[in-house]
A and B are shown apart, each in its own frame.
Chain A
């Protein structure tokens, strides 16, 4: 991993593991079904390589939603979640089993559920870092739009960000598989703070 020691990498894995456990339990409670979340891949890349990395996982024949959410204060950056329309509709279908006001063929309801799950995952990931390090992070409302390749290139052009944590996540709800690609874009200083947070975590939990 770029710039992370082996110890830090392991700690990050466990930290996110715990965060996802929390998010999963929240989702399960919300939809009244047992679910599991797997993180199948995790790596840290340079912002320069983001567009290529995304191009490698996107299926050109599918439509994707692009949910972004800015967070501020102790850590500053933006999470970007890409989810195919298929997955988003499947997710909405799961939600609709308990909330009969939802309709998995309504564009607005699909957006609503995608925003919600993306906010939960972002909150769980970033919020856990704040909790475990006793710091405070503020979240802006997430935004959703259709995914366009050009906008990912724009992220690089601003060059405010330096490193990206790439996470591929699969949520398994009652044998419905929902795939999402989560990218946590961090500013230079926030990346070093993230490393400090990991050290703090290591010291307090496995030191």
Chain B
């Protein structure tokens, strides 16, 4: 079956089926997407090639098209797809198969042929899922940060019925050295030292600090207060939490300085804002897509109208003739067996035959399109006025071919419409939707462009006509499609070209070469703007980067916990030493030697603490340079940092290394550390849930390292119970989490990106023994 050739140019699928779902037409896009050639599928049942299609669904949709004469639809969000086409994306894909919107409409009512237009919706829906997930992730990380802060108290005091009964040194630093005395004597309520957010007047609302604290305790919420420095007046913001002793009215208040961290929160808010802006952009894109869909529907209408016009092809050289189905309808003779031009002309009233026959002969001899008016008598004896339009193809040498269309002009109203529509059709085919056309002569001089091309490139018609094609700087930029050559040698490729304002445009380009009537060769370039799609892809990449950044921040939160834990011990030691010194001074028992010992021990602790900070710093340095780094020491350092915290959670980390010398791998060391930290923290979480069931359970994580040929293997195994089988296969997909609302779901996905994409390695997961093993393979540099 012949279908309008521009269906091969559009960036959607188009196929025509008969009532039994035998494929009658299969466009170029479908050939590319499915890998099924037109010649193979046409004439066969669609079900033979796509056995998964729900037959019942198709039957229902076709029934609607025939019964109501209106289009039926398949929706990417509900039915997912019509044709099961594996997604071509390699990284970052969410859906395994291309999601499709499908518009099903009547192509030939009489023969019950239907046209299926298939639109790829995958990128769009994926972008939406990504955005939704990023927003959720951000919220999760925000609360993670909050929770971490909760543990880091630096002011602690104990109150009993509005009196301060115990406090640490920081309390005095913050509230002033006379504060305890003043509060306990009743001279000043502690409430008068603090202010709340939004300038609430705490005094009016609560009356006393005790009431304020009790209220916060009852509401069980995270609270912020500010305390002004006595000397400078600068405000410090604290997050505070309260615990009440069950047996008496004693309350323990702990306060954490978050002045600096509040800034971090601002960063998070900024990211949130940025994300919502991007979401808006996507929404606009969605609307644009819907608009495009509407435009495609116009094409569809034109396609249907083309089908309703009768036509025949005539070869000047052989005199052979081929009649379209539409013409058979006009002649009221579906079984017509016209073999020659006179057979067709016989349907014309005698007075028109010679004129048309002469014009055909002239067109064959000298070329040149023509239009004519004639009247026919159909097989049923009906007289019909007919509009005849002839187009000439091919040269004298290779034999001219004429395509002659006939319009039934019986109805005057139809006549008016058809004249209007034909005008529209001719201009539409050239100005069709968003396909830009450029026609050049043999030497590449442009002599015609369409309006779509002008609006695509920003040029005026005058700028281009007569100019060389070089002006547009068309360059191939990808060879994906270059290898794909159509049978008729028309090549479809991806190119870049330059907008008048200098911007780079991306396009699909299809070049066809024709021989004109004047023997001259000319080329038709059909270009479709895909800049938006390309941009969408790069935006997705940016988003991935953003996610990595965010996960870094979450890791930072966890590290604050690590430091807090590391510092607790030395801080305690030091306060003990200092307490001893203090009491020795009071008892006049201090001698120089003891003081020196005390100072040395304090310095030792301070040295240890500053080491922790150095470790922390190097861990989070904003190093982004790819370099070769020593694997063994990187793993050791990471484990050393995490071990204390893990041990507190009842989990021991062991390293079993078969590396006898230094092994270097290439990448960003920090990203690798994050990946390892993430794996360890997953193991810890799995172990924690086992400990919850059995408090005596001993958690164990073992990191095996070995090298073989030019690969190094790092395997992290735990005894946390393993990963459920059905989860195992999805574990490296984005936003997948087994941790319910606790996990971020992004960790394993990022691990996979960092290891496979950035470090050219691979990562796999399996269950082994009492738990899970994650195996990383990296090339040795």
Chain A residues close to B by CB (< 8 Å): 22-23, 25-26, 29-30, 70, 72, 98-99, 101, 108-109, 111-112, 115-116, 119-120, 123-124, 126-127, 131, 138-144
Is B75 touching A139 in the complex (CB atoms < 8 A)? Answer: no
Is B67 touching A139 in the complex (CB atoms < 8 A)? Answer: no
Is A119 touching B57 in the complex (CB atoms < 8 A)? Answer: no
By a CB distance below 8 angstroms, the chain B residues around A26 are 63-64, 67-68
Whether A108 touches B78, Cβ cut-off 8 Å, given contacts A26-B68, A138-B297, is: yes
Whether B557 sits at the interface, judged by CB under 8 Å, is no
Distance between Cα atoms of A120 and B65 in the complex (Å): 10
Main secondary structure, interface of A, reads helix
Whether B5 sits at the interface, judged by CB under 8 Å, is no
Contact digits for B278-299, partner A, Cβ 8 Å, 1 yes 0 no: 0000000000001001100100
Contact digits for B77-116, partner A, Cβ 8 Å, 1 yes 0 no: 1111000000000000000000001010000000000000
Whether A22 touches B68, Cβ cut-off 8 Å, given contacts A140-B293, A141-B73, is: yes
Whether B371 sits at the interface, judged by CB under 8 Å, is no
Distance between Cα atoms of A187 and B75 in the complex (Å): 26
Is B64 touching A112 in the complex (CB atoms < 8 A)? Answer: no
By a CB distance below 8 angstroms, the chain B residues around A108 are 77-80
By a CB distance below 8 angstroms, the chain A residues around B75 are 111-112, 115, 141-144
Is B69 touching A131 in the complex (CB atoms < 8 A)? Answer: yes
Closest CB in chain B relative to A135 CB, distance in Å:
11
Q: Which residue of B lies closest to A106 (CB)?
A: B78
Is A138 touching B68 in the complex (CB atoms < 8 A)? Answer: no
Is A111 touching B77 in the complex (CB atoms < 8 A)? Answer: yes
By a CB distance below 8 angstroms, the chain A residues around B103 are 141
Whether B301 sits at the interface, judged by CB under 8 Å, is yes
Whether B70 sits at the interface, judged by CB under 8 Å, is yes
By a CB distance below 8 angstroms, the chain A residues around B293 are 140-141
By a CB distance below 8 angstroms, the chain B residues around A25 are 67
- How many A-B pairs fall under 8 Å by CB? 72
**For chain B, which range describes its interface: under 10, 10 to 19, 20 to 34, or 35 or more residues?**
20 to 34
By a CB distance below 8 angstroms, the chain A residues around B57 are 99, 101
Q: Given A29-B67, A101-B54, 5 other A-B contacts at CB below 8 A?
A: A26-B67, A112-B75, A124-B68, A142-B73, A143-B75
Whether A119 touches B72, Cβ cut-off 8 Å, given contacts A111-B77, A144-B78, is: yes
Is B301 touching A119 in the complex (CB atoms < 8 A)? Answer: no
By a CB distance below 8 angstroms, the chain B residues around A144 are 75, 77-78
Closest CB in chain A relative to B502 CB, distance in Å:
37
Q: Which residue of A lies closest to B76 (CB)?
A: A141
By a CB distance below 8 angstroms, the chain B residues around A70 are 294
Is B294 touching A72 in the complex (CB atoms < 8 A)? Answer: yes
A-B contact pairs, 18 of them (CB 8 A): A23-B68, A25-B67, A26-B68, A101-B56, A108-B77, A108-B79, A109-B78, A111-B75, A112-B79, A116-B72, A123-B68, A123-B70, A123-B71, A127-B70, A140-B297, A144-B75, A144-B77, A144-B78
Whether B60 sits at the interface, judged by CB under 8 Å, is yes
Is A120 touching B64 in the complex (CB atoms < 8 A)? Answer: yes
Distance between Cα atoms of A141 and B699 in the complex (Å): 56
Q: Which residue of A lies closest to B59 (CB)?
A: A30
Distance between Cα atoms of A124 and B70 in the complex (Å): 8
From A29, A111, A112, name the one whose CB has the most chain B CB atoms within 10 angstroms. Answer: A112
Distance between Cα atoms of A61 and B301 in the complex (Å): 44
**Chain B 632-648 interface residues, beta-carbon cutoff 8 Å to A:** none
B54, B67, B294: which contacts A140 (Cβ < 8 A)?
B294
Closest CB in chain A relative to B655 CB, distance in Å:
47
Distance between Cα atoms of A108 and B95 in the complex (Å): 15
Distance between Cα atoms of A58 and B58 in the complex (Å): 33
Closest CB in chain A relative to B114 CB, distance in Å:
15
By a CB distance below 8 angstroms, the chain B residues around A141 are 73, 75, 101, 103, 293
A22, A111, A115, A138: which contacts B67 (Cβ < 8 A)?
A22
Closest CB in chain B relative to A86 CB, distance in Å:
18
Closest CB in chain B relative to A164 CB, distance in Å:
21
By a CB distance below 8 angstroms, the chain A residues around B71 are 123, 139
From B63, B72, B101, B290, name the one whose CB has the most chain A CB atoms within 10 angstroms. Answer: B72
Distance between Cα atoms of A131 and B70 in the complex (Å): 10
Distance between Cα atoms of A98 and B54 in the complex (Å): 12
Closest CB in chain B relative to A146 CB, distance in Å:
12
Q: Which residue of A lies closest to B57 (CB)?
A: A99
By a CB distance below 8 angstroms, the chain A residues around B301 are 138
Distance between Cα atoms of A142 and B73 in the complex (Å): 8
Is B73 touching A120 in the complex (CB atoms < 8 A)? Answer: no
By a CB distance below 8 angstroms, the chain A residues around B54 are 99, 101
Distance between Cα atoms of A108 and B54 in the complex (Å): 14
Distance between Cα atoms of A19 and B68 in the complex (Å): 9
Closest CB in chain B relative to A141 CB, distance in Å:
4
From A72, A120, A131, name the one whose CB has the most chain B CB atoms within 10 angstroms. Answer: A120
**Chain B 172-217 interface residues, beta-carbon cutoff 8 Å to A:** none
Contact digits for B121-156, partner A, Cβ 8 Å, 1 yes 0 no: 000000000000000000000000000000000000
Is B297 touching A99 in the complex (CB atoms < 8 A)? Answer: no
By a CB distance below 8 angstroms, the chain B residues around A142 are 73, 75
Whether A30 touches B60, Cβ cut-off 8 Å, given contacts A111-B78, A112-B79, is: yes
Distance between Cα atoms of A4 and B67 in the complex (Å): 30
Distance between Cα atoms of A70 and B287 in the complex (Å): 13
Q: Which residue of A lies closest to B77 (CB)?
A: A111
Closest CB in chain A relative to B240 CB, distance in Å:
38
By a CB distance below 8 angstroms, the chain A residues around B290 are 140
Distance between Cα atoms of A72 and B70 in the complex (Å): 13
Distance between Cα atoms of A138 and B293 in the complex (Å): 12
Closest CB in chain A relative to B297 CB, distance in Å:
6
Q: Which residue of B lies closest to A138 (CB)?
A: B297
Distance between Cα atoms of A131 and B109 in the complex (Å): 14
Distance between Cα atoms of A123 and B72 in the complex (Å): 9
Distance between Cα atoms of A126 and B103 in the complex (Å): 18
Distance between Cα atoms of A82 and B3 in the complex (Å): 39
Distance between Cα atoms of A142 and B80 in the complex (Å): 15
By a CB distance below 8 angstroms, the chain A residues around B80 are 108
Distance between Cα atoms of A142 and B76 in the complex (Å): 11
Is A112 touching B78 in the complex (CB atoms < 8 A)? Answer: yes
By a CB distance below 8 angstroms, the chain B residues around A115 are 73, 75, 78
Distance between Cα atoms of A123 and B63 in the complex (Å): 13
Closest CB in chain A relative to B770 CB, distance in Å:
36
Distance between Cα atoms of A103 and B428 in the complex (Å): 44
By a CB distance below 8 angstroms, the chain B residues around A101 are 54, 56-57
Q: Which residue of A lies closest to B68 (CB)?
A: A123
A30, A112, A138: which contacts B63 (Cβ < 8 A)?
A30
Closest CB in chain A relative to B717 CB, distance in Å:
38
B68, B69, B77, B78: which contacts A120 (Cβ < 8 A)?
B68
From A22, A23, A70, A115, name the one whose CB has the most chain B CB atoms within 10 angstroms. Answer: A115
Q: Which residue of B lies closest to A100 (CB)?
A: B56
Distance between Cα atoms of A123 and B68 in the complex (Å): 7
Closest CB in chain B relative to A22 CB, distance in Å:
7
